[in-house]
Amino acid sequence: MKPLNGLRILDLTRVMAGPFCTALLADLGAEVIKLEPPQGDDYRHIGPFVDGESALFTLMNRGKQSIVLDLKDPAHQATAHALALECDVVVENFRPGVASRLGLGPELRAEKPSLIYASISGFGQTGPAAHLPAYDLVAQAMSGLMAATGEEGGAPLKVGEAYGDLMAGLYGSWAILAALHKRAATGEGSTIDVAMFDALFSLLPTSHALQFYAGKTPQPVGNRHPLSTPFGCFQCADGQAVIAVLGDRQWQALCGLIARADLAADPALATDEGRTAQEPRVKAAIEAFTTRLATADVVAALAAAGIPTAQVQTLAEAAASPHAQARELVSDLPHPRLGLAKTVGQPVRFDGEKPIAAHSAPALGADGAAILNRLGISHD
């Protein structure tokens, strides 16, 4: 029994933000019906490809069923409309206003008040930028995230993953679950408006602290933390180690490990703020110790002293690590063409178990007839 067994979702989304939202819900047991145009979701045509199958589409659409309808055709619109009214949740990520023009907008709630209708877009359904097209890069640039990311003194830098898309999808799934709780109590659905811009802007607490409380414009500081020291990457003999010290106990332990009692006793370095003000001095003292040792030895010594630390791993190293294996972070799911497809599902455990979709992404339109027959919807 998965947490969302019995929940039916009509997924009108494409590319990443919306599909990620509904994939998370499919992992938890929701029945997700993905409505695609005749050419399929855009991500079916974006590489890398394995045996003609898009890796990104496969990862973002696990556990779903696919039905093909041409929403430019009024008859197909009518079928989609009937399908929406058989669902508990509708999720879309068209530009604002497009779903309504297709007869699939939040107006559906007038016919089914218990419906939960979620829109995911670049800038939301209201506001002067609502009509603008947006990709993750645009949201990162406008949110303040890029301006605070990069090497110290360098140009703004985007985060390496599409976090605007992913965070909007994550917030979308969170909001849908909140709306389900409300509906269970009142019987009333909700109209949900999630924006990539809003999502990213909300996830910058360090920048918020600097801007709104310290009166400082956040600036790129490379791999170190702008408010805490020592908290970043440090050079070793053969690479770099991450060291993250927060609080006096860890600071004293680090000073003891590197044999610098003078630093431990220095009142100018007694607080996080004081150490950050003298960050170059602190870093030089630490690297006088770490540059004499291999990265693995530095990490082992720091861990033994109770100081948070790690080697910087590649994705392959992270996936192959004993801890990732024990946590079952990568799963092989049945795929109609690939046989088995690697999937990284939702990461949360419920009563010791980690729910994940029963199968990988569907073939285009593979489930259309079965879906309509099951729901009693006629369609030529």
Per-residue pLDDT tens over the stretch 323-373: 999 999 999 999 999 999 999 999 999 999 999 999 999 999 999 999 999
Taking only Cα atoms into account, the Rg of the chain, rounded to an integer number of angstroms, comes to 25
Helix (H, G, I), strand (E, B) or coil at 32: strand
What is the pLDDT at residue 77?
Answer: 96
Catalytic residue selected from 81, 225, 359, 379:
225
Distances (CA, A) of 330 to 28, 215, 321, 326, 342: 16, 43, 11, 10, 7
> What is the C-alpha end-to-end distance of the chain, expressed in Å?
35
Tell me if 150 sits within 8 A of 160, measured CB to CB.
no
Residue 291 has pLDDT above 90, yes or no: yes
pLDDT tens digits along 258-280? 999 999 999 999 999 999 999 99
Domains and CATH numbers, the chain: 8-203+328-375 (3.40.50.10540), 231-317 (3.30.1540.10)
pLDDT tens digits along 158-181? 999 999 999 999 999 999 999 999
pLDDT tens digits along 192-235? 999 999 999 999 999 999 999 999 999 999 999 999 999 999 99
Q: Which residues, 6+ apart, have CB-to-CB distance to 212 below 8 Å?
A: none
Strands 49-50 and 53-54: antiparallel
pLDDT tens digits along 94-110? 999 999 999 999 999 99
What is the pLDDT at residue 379?
Answer: 81
**Number of helices followed by number of strands (H, E) in the chain:** 17, 13
34 forms bridges with which residues in the sheet?
Answer: 11, 66
Decide: residue 373, CB within 10 A, 0-12 exposed, 13-18 middle, 19+ buried.
exposed
Distances (CA, A) of 194 to 94, 143, 168, 242, 265: 12, 15, 6, 35, 50
Percent of the chain, pLDDT > 90?
97
What token pair was written down for 368?
């259309």
What is the pLDDT at residue 354?
Answer: 95
**Residue 133 — φ and ψ, nearest 5°?**
-70, 150
What is the pLDDT at residue 1?
Answer: 84
What is the pLDDT at residue 277?
Answer: 94
Mean pLDDT of 300-304: 96
CA distance 51 to 53: 6
What is the pLDDT at residue 159?
Answer: 93
Mean pLDDT of 10-19: 97
pTM of the model: 0.93
What token pair was written down for 124?
């939301």
Active site residue 225: yes
Per the prediction, the chain carries an average pLDDT of 95
CA distance 66 to 203: 33
What is the pLDDT at residue 165?
Answer: 96
CA distance 207 to 39: 42
Mean pLDDT of 286-298: 96
pLDDT tens digits along 111-159? 999 999 999 999 999 999 999 988 999 999 999 999 999 999 999 999 9
Evaluate the CA torsion angle 121, 122, 124, 130 in order and state its sign.
Answer: negative
